[in-house]
Amino acid sequence: MSIPAEFVLPGPLSLTKVLGGAAAACGIAGDEAWTGWAEDLALPSAPRVCVVLVDGLGLAQLRERSGHFPFLRRREASELTTVAPSTTAAAVTAIGTGALPGATGMLGYTVRDPGTGQLMNMIKWDHELTTPRRWQTVPTIAERAAPSDRFVAIGPPRFVGSGLNTAALRAFRDVSAETLPQRVDAAVHTLRSGAADLVYLYWGELDHVGHVHGWNSWEWGEQASSVDHELGELVRRLPRGTLVVITADHGMIDVAERIDIATTPALSEGVIAVAGEPRATHVFTGDPERVAERWRDYLGERAWVITRSQAVDVIGGVDDRFLPAIGDVVMFARGRTVVVDSASQTEGSIALVGVHGSLTAAEMLVPCIREVT
């Protein structure tokens, strides 16, 4: 299997180790591997930890737009890899469980249910025939910990009880806070009061702006400056001795070319269904070799097209239960190309400017910043 030179595969310094390593760093017992994860990530021991996940803040974005990050740029950011595909549902569940998407079944923005053939939305879980608990059965970090009641997850109120939170953060106690300053207040109060030993603080605003306007836009820059300011406030106000770990679930690229499967016969011929996302597409077909060959011929250097058996090696840790949910053919986009499907995707999702999911360094590499207050 020849992998494009610019691609980055999930590695040993992985996002999957962050929460388990953080739990070990503050003395919470659990999986025997967690202590090793803390050592791998160079997490020092501390009485309490705040893990901040800034959705969409890849290492490339942090470095190339460092002018908007006066607080973060003064701190050393080591390099972690996210998961394949490099997308929120897969990565957030990976950080919450310490397991790869092949084990959790969180294989993309949409996943084809092998039993029904229907597409399930791994973010919204709004009209699925199965539930997050039945689909994603890997225990979360909190479920494996002793005690299990020392974990708090802070995010917007709409996330409480959501499908993704259920899949990724079961047994975390939810604390709702809408705005970034309110989330900072909630994290400070939770850790100062001793209500938790480990706080997971999620910030999704940067990713949202990146999707709509692109990460090279002035709008993204303004949001980045706001995120950086609030991170500085968080570190300044947390109780002394708190370990703060700042990371992200993926990076992003800005789209330069869109190719529509539905209007391109060379891509649509023989295709039964399309799942995943425009940068990491799962193609279901009764003739994988022929479809893969046509896709390779048409897309050329714009994409890496592989079969299911090869994709299993890229995704890693695939449970037999989820093998049929991986496309017969899987495409990872190169450069700034996306492959969309107007037959199954909404106009809004097709029009997104900033996207992720593939294996380029801009999407796969995320920062890990450690600070002890």
The whole-number pLDDT of residue 127 equals: 63
Burial of 89 (0-12, 13-18, 19+ CB in 10 A): buried
Separation between Cα atoms, residue 253 and residue 258, nearest integer Å: 13
Residue 245 near residue 49, CB atoms below 8 Å = yes
Strand pairing category for 303-307 and 253-254: unpaired
DSSP characters for 313-342? HHH-S--GGGGGGS-SEEEEE-TTEEEE-T
Q: What is the pLDDT of residues 102-158, one digit of tens each?
A: 999 999 999 999 999 999 999 988 766 789 999 999 999 999 998 878 999 999 999
Beta strands, E only, 38-117: 49-54, 77-81, 110-112
The whole-number pLDDT of residue 44 equals: 98
Alpha-helix residue ranges (DSSP H) falling in 199-258: 205-213, 218-237
What token pair was written down for 244?
A: 């703060």
Strand pairing category for 337-340 and 280-285: unpaired
The whole-number pLDDT of residue 22 equals: 98
| pLDDT value at 12 more than 90 | yes
Separation between Cα atoms, residue 37 and residue 45, nearest integer Å: 12
Q: What is the pLDDT of residues 265-298, one digit of tens each?
A: 999 999 999 999 999 999 999 999 999 999 999 9
What token pair was written down for 2?
A: 């020849």
Residue 6 near residue 361, CB atoms below 8 Å = yes
| pLDDT value at 232 more than 70 | yes
Gyration radius (Cα) of the chain, Å: 20
Residue 136's φ and ψ, nearest 5 degrees, are: -105, 100
DSSP state of 74: G
* CB atoms inside a 10 Å sphere around CB 314: 22
Lowest mean pLDDT among 9-18, 124-133, 215-224, 313-322: 124-133
Alpha-helix residue ranges (DSSP H) falling in the chain: 18-25, 33-40, 59-64, 88-97, 101-104, 132-135, 141-144, 163-169, 180-192, 205-213, 218-237, 265-268, 288-299, 308-315, 347-350, 361-364
What token pair was written down for 112?
A: 């084809």
Whole-number average pLDDT of the chain: 96
What is the mean predicted confidence (pLDDT) over 188-216?
97
